[in-house]
Homo-oligomer: A and B are copies of this chain.
Amino acid sequence: MKILLINPNTTQALTDLLDASARSVLPHGVTLDSVTAETGVPYISTRSEAVVGGLSVLEILAEAHCAYDAAIVAAFGDPGLGAARELFDIPVVGLAEAGMLTACMLGGKFSIVTFARALGPWYRECVDWHGLSGRCAGVRMLDGAFRDISDVQGEKADLLVDLANRAVEEDDADVIVLAGAPLSGLAPLVKDRIPVPVVDCAQAAVRQATTLAALRPVGARRGSFARPAPKGSVGLSPALAARIAHEDAL
């Protein structure tokens, strides 16, 4: 079984964090490949940046999907997830989706804890899109700037633990979801300092991707995620244009 992790951010160091965390819970016999977007912004944090990242996800999948059994959209906010699920036959899971659904099995309400105020609005729209607002006790964000997106968790670990504890005390969170690619790998390091289960989204995502692949679902030929009819296009990457035109190999 082969899993593709797609980092829609252009920062390789974030891909490394995601890959390492996912790899720590990779089941026996599963191969994981991780790729970094070549187009876009270093770190997606808003709706407009997510539009850019969503297109990168589609372009990467158009090139690579045939070689994999499942894929991960590895930015919390899940840019392009619905589009990818509709356009490709393999299961595709989002970082936020996997983290939140896994959290649902560990308690009643989860809180999302992240490192920058700018992320809140996009994350809230993501929770709504997944229909999980009723399970979400809140989105908590750190104030203040950070030095380096690839070392946020080193710089902010103590503040994030405090924030998670406030979510437990004040928002009645049963579970904490540490959100955002830069926090990948942090949950196992701090879980003893937070009195409820803590979910690492990269770990959750790779496990959920392998589960979906293991169930070997037949792709949707009907329903809202059936592959769209073929269509011409202008200005897209060759692989994506071919996929949209039904002129790709598959």
Interface residues of A (CB under 8 A from B): 10, 25, 27-29, 38-43, 45-52, 54-55, 58, 80, 82-87, 91, 93, 97-98, 101-102, 104-109, 118, 120-121, 124-125, 128-132, 134-135, 168-169, 172-175, 188, 191-192, 194-200, 203-204, 207-208, 211-212, 214-226, 228-229, 231-236, 244
Contact = CB atoms under 8 A, between A and B. Distances in A.
A28 to B, nearest CB: 4
Nearest to A42: B232
Can you list the 8 inter-chain pairs with the closest CB atoms, starting with the nearest?
A39-B235, A121-B224, A197-B217, A48-B83, A174-B223, A195-B221, A195-B222, A28-B28
Contacts of A229: 118
Given A48-B58, A109-B224, A168-B222, 13 more contacts: A48-B87, A50-B83, A52-B233, A105-B212, A107-B220, A107-B223, A108-B121, A120-B172, A131-B132, A195-B220, A196-B223, A199-B217, A203-B215
B107 A224 contact: yes
A197 to B, nearest CB: 4
Stoichiometry, as copies per complex, reads: 6
A107 B85 contact: yes
